[in-house]
Homo-oligomer: A and B are copies of this chain.
Amino acid sequence: MEKKSLGIIGGMGPLATADLFRKIILNTKADSDRGHIRIYIDNNTSVPDRTAAILYGKESPTGEIISSGKKLIASGAEILLIPCNTSHYFYDEISAALPVPVINMVETVCRYLKEKGVCRAAVLATDGTVKAGVYSKAMEKHGIIPVLPDCKAQAAVMKLIYDIKANGVAADAANVVEAMRDMCKIGVDTFVLACTELPLLLSSFSGGECVDPTLLLAKEAITLAGYECI
């Protein structure tokens, strides 16, 4: 299979971008530097806040995202990735404006859930992703029931996401873990960490399976680039 290069439209946030980059490398079967994938990254820290654009009609992030995509293509990227779940609200507009394939992370996750036979999963995400139904709509299309946190739990998730953006892995996930335990009591056993900041802190949870969209995106990209996953 022909080998292809990848381009990561990053900065949403920076640490999540580094996490995707690392997960691609660690999951690629390679025995030397030269066996790895050529990857171009634009850690674009000028992208307007996605949740603010969706909920309050603030400046759209698509201009900056598309501009980054074009820079990456000009460098040589043949397949694009966006390690930001919330920005997938704008997926159709972004994808239509760029002349190379853009992997849809939300669709990748839904396909994974379906293959695993998951019928019902909690969606832990930004207010923007949740209120715009980015995951809910895609999951329902695949016959999977999305379970959303109640108001208090959602506030804890949103606070944690912005804390990770500000303080990195030193942020405190206790309130979100408590919210996850409450969701277990109503029978939820699968949790989609549907914001790329969350897997930085929550890689496992004793009450159920944590699904990491960043990892699934990394594996999908490795395969589409013509490489083997470990």
Decide if B18 touches A33 in the complex (CB within 8 Å). no
- A11 and B162 CA atoms in complex are apart in Å by 31
The count of residues in chain A whose C-beta lies closer than 8 Å to any C-beta of chain B is: 38
Q: Mark A13-39, 1 if CB is under 8 A from B, else 0.
A: 111011001100110001111111111
- Give the contacting residue for A43; candidates B37, B49, B71, B166; CB below 8 A: B37
Q: Which of A168-184 contact B (CB under 8 A)?
A: 168
Tell me, rounded to whole Å, the shortest Cβ–Cβ distance linking A8 to chain B: 8
Tell me, rounded to whole Å, the shortest Cβ–Cβ distance linking A127 to chain B: 15
Decide if A43 touches B41 in the complex (CB within 8 Å). yes
User: What residues of B have a CB within 8 angstroms of the CB of A42 in the complex?
Assistant: 38, 40, 75
- Give the contacting residue for A39; candidates B34, B39, B43; CB below 8 A: B43
State whether the Cβ of A12 lies closer than 8 Å to any Cβ in chain B: yes
Tell me, rounded to whole Å, the shortest Cβ–Cβ distance linking A94 to chain B: 17
Decide if B32 touches A165 in the complex (CB within 8 Å). yes
User: What residues of B have a CB within 8 angstroms of the CB of A207 in the complex?
Assistant: none
Knowing A39-B43, A45-B34, A162-B32 touch, does A14 contact B18 (C-beta < 8 A)?
Answer: no
State whether the Cβ of A44 lies closer than 8 Å to any Cβ in chain B: yes
- A14 and B38 CA atoms in complex are apart in Å by 9
Closest to A20 in B: B18
User: What residues of B have a CB within 8 angstroms of the CB of A71 in the complex?
Assistant: 40, 75-76
Decide if B15 touches A25 in the complex (CB within 8 Å). yes
Binding site for B on A (CB under 8 A): 11-15, 17-18, 21-22, 25-26, 30-47, 49, 71, 74-76, 162, 165-166, 168
